[in-house]
């Protein structure tokens, strides 16, 4: 099946499926601001939807525009981030809000190049905002999209290591020419990968491209590359960092060192986690061996 046929078939089939089965997420609602979309994309990085939803709603109620977030102290931004994980994202979003105010009059730009120039905005996020907020035609590639394209187009069980240029080109080939149709296809590919074409237990019988899927037609061959390691959390530096941050978020005054020492028995690991938080700018050391969130 040549590329033009795949373009028509996959985009149409997945788009129709999306119209009927897509999750009703607030950042997809008609008329939602580009800022709200950008916030959702940052929060959704390595974090499941059900954890993001309540925090996203609280953030948009409190900071509905970049201007509102930009004037807040960094400590308040980190506290509001709560337990979403990877709190450096909160600082990047704070820096991004300031840059939007300074460079773009508080508006989220539409051009991918301008989005890429903002703090904390990478290739995926820039294209996602341009497509999902403005309806422009750009390939949007995340893990779910890469897996779907690998299976449907190249008959592979797994997409393998990311290859930015090749991945973008493979997805762009599947996008309809019309920007609105292309934007719909982009979100539909992503949703199908998240709900149906999953990594461990794909629901092939429920897939709208079952008959056209190269992987299915090839007999669903197993992945040939090395198995991916499942990232653990318990006992890792990430867990220790989270425990230290929880103490600081809940504190109303600088915290003495003893309060941080109490959260984890392994002193070497605790010191390493604290040093990482200091290096990341998430924690400040104050006179008297006290610690606080950045002011």
Q: Is the pLDDT of residue 190 over 90?
A: yes
Q: Is the pLDDT of residue 288 over 90?
A: yes
Cα–Cα distance measured from residue 88 to residue 108, given in angstroms and rounded to the nearest whole number:
21
State the catalytic residue, choosing from 41, 58, 173, 212: 41
Paired sense of beta strands 284-286 and 255-256, if any: unpaired
Q: Which residues pair with 284 in a beta bridge?
A: 292
Q: What is the mean pLDDT of residues 146-162?
A: 93
pLDDT at 230: 61
Contact between residue 25 and residue 49 where contact means Cβ atoms under 8 Å apart: yes
Q: What is the pLDDT of residues 213-223, one digit of tens each?
A: 999 999 999 88
Report the alpha-carbon angle 89-95-100, nearest 5.
Answer: 120
Percent of the chain with pLDDT over 90: 88
Q: What is the pLDDT of residues 242-263, one digit of tens each?
A: 999 999 999 999 999 999 999 9
Q: Is the pLDDT of residue 224 over 90?
A: no
pLDDT at 229: 66
Q: With the C-alpha atoms ordered 42, 43, 48, 54, is the resulting torsion angle positive or negative? A: negative
pLDDT at 18: 97
Active site residue 41: yes
Q: Is the pLDDT of residue 225 over 80?
A: no
Residue with tokens 């994980």: 85
pLDDT at 8: 72
Contact between residue 148 and residue 197 where contact means Cβ atoms under 8 Å apart: yes
Q: What is the pLDDT of residues 115-145, one digit of tens each?
A: 999 999 999 999 999 999 999 999 999 999 9
User: Is residue 232 very low, low, confident or very high in pLDDT (cuts 50, 70, 90)?
Assistant: confident
pLDDT at 223: 84
Q: Is the pLDDT of residue 211 over 60?
A: yes
Q: Is the pLDDT of residue 227 over 80?
A: no
Contact between residue 114 and residue 160 where contact means Cβ atoms under 8 Å apart: no
pLDDT at 9: 86
Q: What is the pLDDT of residues 263-278, one digit of tens each?
A: 999 999 999 999 999 9
pLDDT at 234: 82
Cα–Cα distance measured from residue 175 to residue 179, given in angstroms and rounded to the nearest whole number:
9
pLDDT at 256: 96
Q: Is the pLDDT of residue 2 over 60?
A: no
pLDDT at 4: 63
DSSP string, the chain: --HHHHHHHHHHHHHHHHHHH----GGGSTT--HHHHHHHHHHTTTS-HHHHHHHHHHHHHH--SHHHHHTS-HHHHHHHHTTSS-THHHHHHHHHHHHHHHHHTT---SSHHHHHTSTT--HHHHHHHHHHTT--------HHHHHHHHHHTT--S---S--HHHHHHHHHTTS-SSHHHHHHHHHHHHHHHHHTS-SSS--GGG-TTTTT-HHHHTT-PPP-SPPPPPPP-TTSHHHHHHHHHHHHHH-SSPEEHHHHHTT-S-HHHHHHHHHHHHHTTS-EEETTTEEE---
Q: What is the mean pLDDT of the chain?
A: 93
Percent of the chain with pLDDT over 70: 95
Q: Range with the lowest mean pLDDT among 56-65, 142-151, 157-166?
A: 157-166
């Amino acid at each position: 099946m040549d590329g033009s046929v795949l373009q028509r078939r996959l985009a149409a089939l997945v788009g129709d499926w999306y119209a009927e089965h897509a999750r009703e997420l607030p950042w997809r609602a008609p008329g939602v601001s580009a800022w709200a979309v950008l916030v959702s994309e940052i929060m959704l990085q390595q974090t499941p939807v059900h954890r993001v939803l309540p925090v996203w709603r609280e953030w948009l109620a409190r900071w509905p525009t970049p201007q509102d977030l930009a004037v807040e102290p960094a400590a308040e931004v980190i506290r509001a981030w709560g337990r979403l994980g990877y709190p450096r994202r909160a600082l990047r979003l704070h820096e991004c809000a300031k840059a939007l105010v300074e460079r773009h009059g508080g508006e989220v730009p539409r051009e991918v190049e301008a989005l890429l120039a903002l703090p904390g905005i990478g290739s995926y996020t820039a294209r996602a905002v341009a497509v999902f907020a403005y309806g422009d035609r750009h390939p949007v590639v995340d893990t779910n999209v890469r897996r779907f394209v690998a299976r449907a187009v190249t008959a592979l069980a797994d997409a393998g290591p990311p290859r930015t240029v090749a991945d973008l080109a493979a997805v762009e080939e599947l996008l309809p020419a019309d920007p609105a149709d292309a934007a719909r296809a982009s979100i539909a590919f992503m949703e199908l990968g998240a709900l149906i074409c999953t990594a461990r237990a794909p629901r092939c019988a429920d897939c709208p491209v079952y008959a056209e899927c190269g992987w299915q037609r090839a007999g669903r061959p197993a992945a040939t590359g090395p198995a991916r390691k499942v990232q653990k959390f318990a006992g890792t530096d990430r867990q220790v960092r989270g425990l230290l941050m929880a103490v600081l978020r809940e504190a109303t005054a600088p915290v003495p060192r003893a309060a941080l020492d109490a959260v984890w028995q392994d002193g070497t690991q605790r010191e390493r986690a604290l040093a990482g938080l200091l290096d990341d700018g998430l924690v400040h050391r104050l006179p008297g061996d006290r610690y606080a969130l950045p002011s």
